[in-house]
Amino acid sequence: MSKNKQGKKHIHILDGMSLYKRDKSPFYWGYLNVGGEIYKKSLKTRDKREAEKFLFEWKSKLLLDKSLNKLNGNLEMDVLKNPVVNNTRRKALMITSSLMGAVTVAGFAVPFLSAWNPSERAKALGASVKFDLSKLEPGAMAVVEWRRTPIFVVHQTPKALENLPKLNNRVTDPVLSEGVARSTNEKFTVLKGVCTHLSCAPKYHPEIEPKAWDEQWLGGFFCPCHGSKFDLAGRVYKGVPAPTNLEVPPHTFEGDTLIIGELT
């Protein structure tokens, strides 16, 4: 047993290696002198054998670290011996390489993002369709498919045409310029069956009777999704989620035939 400066009892292991106890700690502490540098720490064990083992491990780790540091130190020295650092150039390199990196990323993003656009095949599905109006009874509605969208074709009754102007102040946008039935044809109204709120297909309710959604219903369309109301000319009622009237798709009448879509 020997004593160090603080008067603590040391257990000698090898030169520059010893174990000791500290007053408040239940553990063995290790003391190392590696090349003149002193290290101390708790070995976190009450077992002497284990403490010895940990001490040896610790020493070899320190030695390894030291030799690695030496290596690194020499490498660093090489650079430091020739301190030819051109900060402006370094900065310029940083900026150009980041810019080039950004351009590369953006360049690669283009094909991946563009792949999500409608393909040529999807674009080609836009041809016009024909519909025979002669079989559509007054008051009835037909659903015609155009570009995978339901198109509503309504044969207006005289009663409906009479009622429509009464609703002018209950709708958001009466579009008086478009005519009573919002159509170039007196009898047939053609509408996109796509609710202008969130694209559900509104239901056709031509009956004039009180409804759950409207006490004074004069016939029209009711959207089941969020309760938007439109009159028989597709004009949207005030105070419903849909902001605008049902759209009128491009269409032309040729005698009894209705052509929906652009004429080609």
Partner 1 sequence: MASEKNTIMGWVDRRLPVTENLERHLTKHPVPKKVNFFYLFGALLMVVFMIQVVTGIWLMMFYTNTEEGAFASVEYIMRDVEYGWLMRYMHSTGASAFFFLMYFHMFRGLLYGSYQKPKELVWLFGCFLLFLLMAEGFLGYVLPWGQMSYWAANVILSLFGAIPFIGPDLQVWIQGDFVLSGITLSRFFALHVVVVPLLMIALVVFHIFALHEVGAGNPEGVDIEKYRDKKGMPLDGAPFHPYKTFGALPAIGIFFIVFFAIVFFAPTGGGYFIEKPNFEEANFLKTPEHIAPVWYYAPFYSILRAVTFGIPFLGITSKFLGFIIFAASIAILFVVPWLDRSNVQSIRYKGMYSKIAMILFAASFITLGYLGTKPVNELRTIIAQICTVFYFAPFILMPIYTKYEKTLEVPDRL
- Binding residues for partner 1, rule: CB under 8 A, are 26, 116-119, 122, 125-126, 143, 145, 147-150, 193, 196-203, 212-213, 223-227, 239-244
Q: Which one of 170, 225, 247, 261 is in contact with ligand FES (CB under 6 A)?
A: 225
**Of residues 58 and 157, the one with the C-beta less far from partner 1:** 58
Q: Which one of 16, 150, 179, 241 is in contact with ligand FES (CB under 6 A)?
A: 241
Choose from ligand FES, partner 1, none: what does 118 bind? Cβ within 5-8 Å by kind.
partner 1
Segment interacting with ligand FES (CB under 6 A) among 43-51, 117-125, 153-161, 221-229: 221-229
User: Does the footprint of ligand FES cover residue 226 (CB under 6 A)?
Assistant: yes
Which are the contacts of 59, defined by CB distance < 8 A and separation ≥ 6?
A: 17, 32, 34
Question: Burial level of 234, CB count in 10 A (0-12/13-18/19+)?
Answer: buried
**Of residues 9 and 226, the one with the C-beta less far from ligand FES:** 226
**Of residues 159 and 170, the one with the C-beta less far from partner 1:** 170
Instruction: Tell me the backbone φ, ψ of residue 140, rounded to 5 degrees.
Output: -95, 160
CB of 130 to partner 1, least distance (A): 17
Residues in the site for ligand FES, rule: CB under 6 A? 195, 197-200, 223, 225-228, 241-242
